[in-house]
Structure 1
Amino acid sequence: MDKIVVLDFGSQYSHLICRRIREANVYCELLPYDTPAKVIREMNPKGIIFSGGPASVYAKGAPKPDKKLFEMGKPILGICYGHQVLVNNFGGSVRRQASREYGRAGLKIDDNSDLFKDLGTGINCWMSHGDAAEKLPEGFQVLAHTDNSSSAAIGNREKKFYGIQFHPEVVHTERGVQLLKNFAQEISGAKPEWDMQSFIETTVKEVREKVGKDHVLAAVSGGIDSTTVAALLNKAIGKQLSCVFINHGLLRQDEEKEVVKLFKDHLGINLIYVDAEKRFLARLKGVSDPEKKRKIIGDQFAKEFVTVAKKHGPFQWLAQGTLYPDVIESGVSKGPAAVIKTHHNVGGLPKWLKLKIIEPLRYLYKDEVRKVAGLLGVPDELLKRHPFPGPGLAVRVIGVLTPDKIRIAKQASKIVEDELKAAGFYDKVWQAYAAVGDDRAVGVLGDERVYGHVVMVRVVESIDAMTADWTRLPYDLLEKISNRITNEVDGATWVTYAVSSKPPATIEPQ
């Protein structure tokens, strides 16, 4: 399959470039900026994209790609910092600008014959830079400009090297996906072969070859990721698959009953149910640090898997619903991302776990998983459920886990979801829940003074969980949610609404 490689120079938007290329039905993968040319040559991509980044190309120690990349004969597109890399590498000059460009800018297109094909004479684009090309390298010409940047887009058609000072991958840039599609398909010649039906066919074949006659144990939570893994593996290996649902005591209200019923009635997959609530909560007692919680939960999950394997096995493989965002946030991706938080199914599993890991969704984004699930016949009841973290309420109960705080988070979250459904908002948002910590505030219930917990309600909109924006719910809906929580959830006296987007915040509080 044809592919495009994105080299990550540290931009917060690097993963979005991959997403946009995939929207154009071309497979795309993210790699560190310093990946050797030899490795990339073996991957044989149709084209290479340099992402943006926070550095200045002329600064000491600035990140630079392997120079041999420029000798491979592959088309290259440099975005923002990547644009400056091209200018600097071929003898041009980059300087700090007196008038920096941040935010929306009008781009005037001077040449729309290839990179800007079908984009007309101008678009609004998103700028984020303080440096700009002062002198163009030999062989490059200006393709577009703005009022503050005379060379906002440049190109060397002979070598098929292009540089743009703006970010086509963000939604603020008009027709940005079309520009990336032009580079991937028109300039690089990549065939649009990446779609979820072909992914299913390829993955089924790969799983059969990898697993052979072995048996696989799939950990499922009732969420869309693990459910899709189960459906995909069921299609690939049938009776060689067994699914296990481990109740760690930190689930949504009545979730354990719903999951067992859904798997049995809708998917026809046998489910091993394990009630491990007491064991998980005993190990988490007194632990407040969120990373320690995640590590403990990952470790205990592994212990439970081993016990299940001994009782119902033998199994040689453990399947998980790990996604690309999980890999990136856990700092074990192929890009140079910092560790945001350890996902229990990525960085939390211990080395002593003797089962081999299979993660068929590891390089998919959430919206792609939903498409796969739909094609596999996963019912809407599961398909439209909001994401739920593997560690469950452990990341929504801030501080030490207590029975009261777990109960409050569980009951309040149910109220949030129910009211969103009643108001027609549930299917319009990405995720909604209530969290609780140790903050307390005085309330008055009846004629009595009550010193209870502050409950935080969080509702966000997103496409792939890599970025998210808080949802502007109507005030009357927020009022109804607040009133129900304080009236119906014992121990809750105040309700707050989180209005932080991702970034800088994360979707879950821990």
Structure 2
Amino acid sequence: MSNKETVIVLDFGGQYNQLIARRVRECNVYCEILPYTVDIQKIKDIAPKGIIFTGGPNSVYDETSPHYTPEIFKLGIPILGICYGCQLMAYSLGGVVTPATDNSSSEYGKTETQYNTDDVLFKGLPESGISWMSHRDYISEVPEGFSVTATTAVCPTAAMSCPDKKLYGVQFHPEVNHTENGKSMLKSFLYDVCECKGEWKMESFIDTTVAQLKEQIGDKGVVLGLSGGVDSSVAAALLSKAVGKQLTCVFVDQGLMRKDEGDFVEETFTKLFDMNFVRINCQDEFLSKLKGVVDPEKKREIIGTEFYKVFWGKIRESYGSGFFAQGTIYPDRIESGKGDAAKIKTHHNQVGIPEDIKFESVIEPLKDLFKDEVREVGEKLGIPHQLVWRQPFPGPGLGVRVIGEVTAEKVHILQEADAILRDEMDKCGYSEQMSQFFAVLPGVKTVGVMGDARTYDELVAIRAVTTDDFMTADWAKIPYEILGRVSNRIINEVEHVNRVVYDITSKPPGTVEWE
């Protein structure tokens, strides 16, 4: 661990573990998420300024549920327990956690809460407010030395504290937006209890990372696979700032990107940044492999395999030495606290290197950042807004937005239709209101009348959703007049399209993508 001041989020299987860490970082304090299975010696080695216990779905009095050694409370490090973490603190230190025998003791959702504003967490806040609860068990008796600092109509211990030992617990979730003044409560813990200085800022991150990259790379080369996505683009910009022409970015353009996107990526990184940019145009090869293939999983497999072959084939030719860089970000490598296995997730940003290619090591300059922090770094490095805020785009590209067999003609039709949709959304200022929007070519032909003549041509579907986390999503309520303009332009400007439809399916039961 570096010498930056750090707060640890100890994950007991809570659904909000990443959200807690992001809220801490929003207070300009660096934060790491560790699974509850981590050895206490690692925590001692990190020497954090504070520790936060997450929530979790279990009951603390069930000995098979996640627990942690009581030794952690003797380290003298400030600890904040949230929900299950609060109950675990109480249970571990001699308090009583009681199971709800009926619904009268459980709470879910927005709950009127009374606060003791003499407590450091609630100082300066209103004496009552809404907090977000999600629990069945409750703390019926706090440990010795603790006092109750918040209550609700049915929860006798909505918060507790032991200032002498710097131990605090809240039954509710201050990290969610539904809890009024929740961020202020977390900030009080970080600054008034943990005595953090708030040194985690993107400007200092950039300066520190660039210096570290210069030292690590020295006079050797580094290769990065640039996809044009946010993560790899920001990683490329950071490396360029650090080592300039020692960086080679290899961009595989398989011809399945949005209209002119490959040209935009090339122009951005050749004009704005100092690096070697290698573009491999290989649409014909990809389309030949996809000929006759209609199954979406088979298409994904072919595109992934061909990409791997093209990319590493180019590396073998000229660049198989020095360092290999990739755009891994923090969520890609977080160990889950759910279950005892605690395995690291496999993610597309963590690429497998063929055994015959020997780099000195892998460089991951963004490995400590969440997505919103990556975007902030990108903005500060001068990457165009359009690229920094690029919407999620499937790895196989338009290969899975053309339903059925993928051909050059179908890709062209979809690129043109999608470009019109984006142009209209940008002109009316509606782009910022949607999480994702795109066109789909379902492979359905319909009868139409154009210029008094019968047509039998392609149908284009429009998909647009709003969501906070992409786990669930609602279809976007785009005004009819905007949809009308989009439809009119696509039909008039894109050859072989005579009908446009709008997808009004939420997730679930649908998914965001069609394939």
Deviations 1:174-211 (A, max 9, x none): 22111111112211122201010111112112212322
Match of 1:157 in 2: 163
- Contact 1:431/1:459, CA 8 A, preserved across alignment: yes
**Counterpart position of 1:210:** 216
Note closer, same or farther for the CA distance 1:126–1:498 as it changes in structure 2 (3 Å cut). Answer: farther
Corresponding residue number in structure 2 for 1:223: 229
1:370 paired with 2:375, answer yes
| Alignment-derived partner of residue 334 in structure 1 | 335
Give the corresponding residue for 1:197: 203
Q: Does structure 1 retain, via aligned residues, the 8 Å contact 2:117–2:125?
A: no
Are 2:425 and 1:420 aligned?
Answer: yes
Residue deviations 1:322-379, cap 9 Å, x none? 3234x1xxxx422347999964322666666544432211221222122212222223
**How many Å separate the matches in 2 of 1:244 and 1:183?**
45
> 2:241 maps to which residue?
235
Q: Which amino acid aligns with 2:437?
A: A
Q: Separation in 2 of the partners of 1:63 and 1:323?
A: 27
Contact 2:457 2:496 in 1 (8 A): no
Which residue is 1:187 aligned to?
A: 193
Contact 1:35 1:65 in 2 (8 A): no
Aligned to 1:167, what secondary structure does the other structure show?
coil
Q: 1:120 to 1:233 in 2, by over 3 A?
A: same
Aligned to 1:28: 31
**1:98 aligns to 2:103 (yes or no):** yes
Counterpart check, 1:167 vs 2:173 = yes
1:341/1:77 CA distance change after superposition, 3 Å: closer
Q: In structure 2, what is the Cα distance between the partners aligned to 1:188 and 1:467?
A: 36
Code of the residue aligned with 2:258 in structure 1: it is: R
Partner of 1:146: 152
Query: Is contact 2:27-2:198 (8 Å) kept?
Result: yes
1:434 aligns with 2:427: no
1:304 correspondence with 2:305: no
1:433 Cα deviation after fit: 1.9
**Partner Cα separation in structure 2 for residue 80 and residue 489 of structure 1:** 58
User: Does the CA-based 8 Å contact 2:320-2:358 persist in structure 1?
Assistant: no
Q: How many residue pairs were aligned?
A: 501
Asked whether the equivalents of residues 342 and 348 of structure 1 are also in contact (C-alpha less than 8 Å), the reply is no
Give per-residue Cα distances to partners, 1:239-275, cap 9 Å, x unaligned.
2111221102221111122222222233354411111
Give the partner amino acid of 2:67. Answer: K
CA distance in 2, matches of 1:339, 1:280: 34
Q: Aligned-residue CA RMSD in angstroms?
A: 3.3
Tell which deviates more after alignment, 59-68 or 399-408.
399-408
1:3 aligns with 2:9: no
Within 2, Cα distance between the matches of 1:202 and 1:467? Answer: 37
| Structure 1 residue 62 corresponds to structure 2 residue 62 | no
Contact 1:244 1:272 in 2 (8 A): yes
SS where residue 267 of structure 1 aligns? Answer: coil
Q: State the alpha-carbon separation in 1 of the partners of residues 238 and 279 from structure 2.
A: 20
Residue matched to 2:45: 42
Residues 182-191 or 447-456, more deviating = 447-456
The one-letter amino acid paired with 1:216 is V
Q: 1:103 & 1:263 partners in 2: Cα distance?
A: 47
Q: Deviations over 1:456-485 (max 9, x none)?
A: 5124355x8788765443233234334545
Q: Is the 8 A contact 1:384 1:427 kept in 2?
A: no
Task: Name the SS of the counterpart of 1:221 in structure 2.
Answer: coil
C-alpha distance in 1, partners of 2:509/2:369? Answer: 23
Cα–Cα, structure 1 residues 113 and 366, in superposed 2: closer, same or farther, change >3 Å? same
Q: Report deviation, 1:61.
A: 2.0
Which amino acid counterpart does residue 280 of structure 2 have in structure 1?
Answer: V
How far apart, CA to CA, are the structure 1 residues paired with 2:350 and 2:498? 34
Q: How far apart, CA to CA, are the structure 2 residues paired with 1:474 and 1:269?
A: 44
Residues 171 and 140 of structure 1: CA distance in aligned 2, closer, same or farther (over 3 Å): same
Contact (CA 8 Å) 2:98, 2:139: kept in 1 or not? yes
**Secondary structure of residue in 1 paired with 2:136:** strand
Distance across 2 between alignment mates of 1:506 and 1:149 = 38
Tell me if structure 2 keeps the 8 A contact 1:5–1:47. Answer: yes
Q: Which 5+ residue runs of structure 1 have no aligned equivalent?
A: none
**Mapped partners of 2:394, 2:188: distance in 1:** 37
> CA shift at 1:498, angstroms?
5.2
Rounded to whole Å, the distance in 2 between the matches of 1:417 and 1:223 is 17
Q: Provide the secondary structure at the position in 2 that maps to 1:178.
A: helix
Q: Is the 8 A contact 2:221 2:323 kept in 1?
A: yes
String of CA shifts for 1:58-111, please: whole Å, max 9, x gaps.
Answer: 345212224332232211111112122112222222312523322111221123
2:91 aligned residue: 88
Contact 1:243 1:270 in 2 (8 A): yes
Give the match's secondary structure for 2:85: helix
Are 1:346 and 2:347 an aligned pair?
A: no
Q: Give the alignment partner of residue 266 of structure 2, picking from 242, 260, 271.
A: 260
Structure 1 CA distance for aligned equivalents of residues 296 and 229 of structure 2: 25
Q: Could you tell me which runs of 5 or more consecutive residues in structure 2 were left unpaired when the two chains were aligned.
A: none
Match of 1:357 among 333, 349, 362: 362
Shift of 1:215: 0.5
Q: Comparing 314-323 with 276-285, which one deviates more in the overlay?
A: 276-285
Which residue does the alignment assign to 1:477? 482
- Contact between 1:323 and 1:365, CA under 8 Å: does it hold in 2? yes
Hey, what does 2:137 align to over in structure 1?
A: 131
What percent identity do the matched residue pairs reach? 43
CA contact (8 A) 1:103 1:127 kept: yes
Query: Relative to structure 2, which stretch is displaced further, 423-432 or 238-247?
Result: 423-432
| Structure 2 CA distance for partners of 1:284 and 1:132, relative to 1, 3 Å | farther
Distance in 2, Cα, partners of 1:505 & 1:18: 30
Distance (Å, rounded) in 2 between the aligned partners of 1:67 and 1:469: 44
Question: What is the distance in 1 between the residues matched to 2:187 and 2:316?
Answer: 50
Judge which range, 488-497 or 164-173, deviates more: 488-497
* Aligned partner letter, 2:138: A
Distance in 2, matches of 1:147 and 1:287, equals: 58
C-alpha separation between the residues in 2 aligned to 1:226 and 1:244? 11
Q: How much has 1:166 moved relative to structure 2?
A: 1.3
Distance (whole Å) between structure 2 residues aligned to residue 315 and residue 146 of structure 1: 62
